[in-house]
Amino acid sequence: MTSLPTLILASQSPRRAELLKRLSLPFEVRPADIDEESLGHLEPAPMAEALAAKKAQTIWQPGQWVLAADTVVALDTEVLGKPRNPEENKAFLRRLSGRIHTVYTGFAIQQPEGHLHSEVVEAKVAFRDLQEWELEWYASSGEGLDKAGGYGAQGLGMVLIERIEGDFYTVMGLPVSRVWQRLYELGYFGQS
Ligand SMILES: Cc1cn([C@H]2C[C@H](O)[C@@H](COP(=O)(O)OP(=O)(O)OP(=O)(O)O)O2)c(=O)[nH]c1=O
């Protein structure tokens, strides 16, 4: 393969950077500081897609390939954001315990000439019935504090999960297989 253009990753998420690294794609991180509240009125799926698109558009400059994403965790119709403290983290986990919730990860790719592609992918996650000591243990680890829904499926949070329906990487914050496919279709890897 000839050398690929540098992807600008419009995300501060270390997980998304790690996934691009694992794909051996050349990239630079340039987080987009957007007002997420302004799209808070949307339903979870369109919200994840619109936030990803907004992040890409904030960073894009002519000639660049930009990739952005946003992960929204929804329990029925309610969105669980990032818990503000261990107490709130515990409360989130108590609500997720023994139930199935949906993780929506929207992603956006903006091409060098400005065309913007965005879409959203979903996965269903079933939590085990969690014991009180497990809520305490997980919340005090601090792992869930910078994560939507208050847990990380790729970390200690793996023990909270009974099963996942859909792509694991959608839960982790970037549906890599779908992103890869779209990059190909949009011509990132060269003329197809
Ligand atoms: C549910 C879940 C979320 N997460 C993370 C992925 C995202 O980083 C984060 C959701 O917040 P996002 O707002 O999607 O992303 P971010 O704030 O980390 O970064 P940026 O806005 O700059 O793109 O939660 C996990 O790492 N594992 C999980 O299992």
Pairing of strands 7-9, 65-75: parallel
Residue 105 falls inside a structural domain: yes
The ipTM is 0.93
Residue 76 falls inside a structural domain: yes
Residue 190 falls inside a structural domain: no
**Burial label, 81 (beta-carbon count in 10 A; 0-12, 13-18, 19+):** middle
Residue 144 falls inside a structural domain: yes
Q: Which atom of ligand 1 is nearest to the CA of 153?
A: 29
Q: Which residues are annotated as catalytic?
A: 70
Give per-residue pLDDT as tens, 48-70. 999 999 999 999 999 999 999 99
Residue 61 domain boundaries? 7-185
Counted domains in the chain: 1
What is the distance in A from the centroid of ligand 1 to the CA of 174? Answer: 9
* Whole-prediction pTM: 0.96
Name the residue with the closest Cα to ligand 1, atom 6: 173
Q: Is 172 in the pocket of ligand 1 (CB under 6 A)?
A: yes
The CATH number assigned to the domain holding 141 equals 3.90.950.10
Residue 192 falls inside a structural domain: no
Residue 123 falls inside a structural domain: yes
Give per-residue pLDDT as tens, 83-107. 999 999 999 999 999 999 999 999 9
**58 to 8, 71, 89, 96, 117: CA distances (angstroms):** 12, 18, 30, 33, 14
Residue 121 falls inside a structural domain: yes
Percent of the residues in the chain that have a pLDDT greater than 70, as a whole number = 98
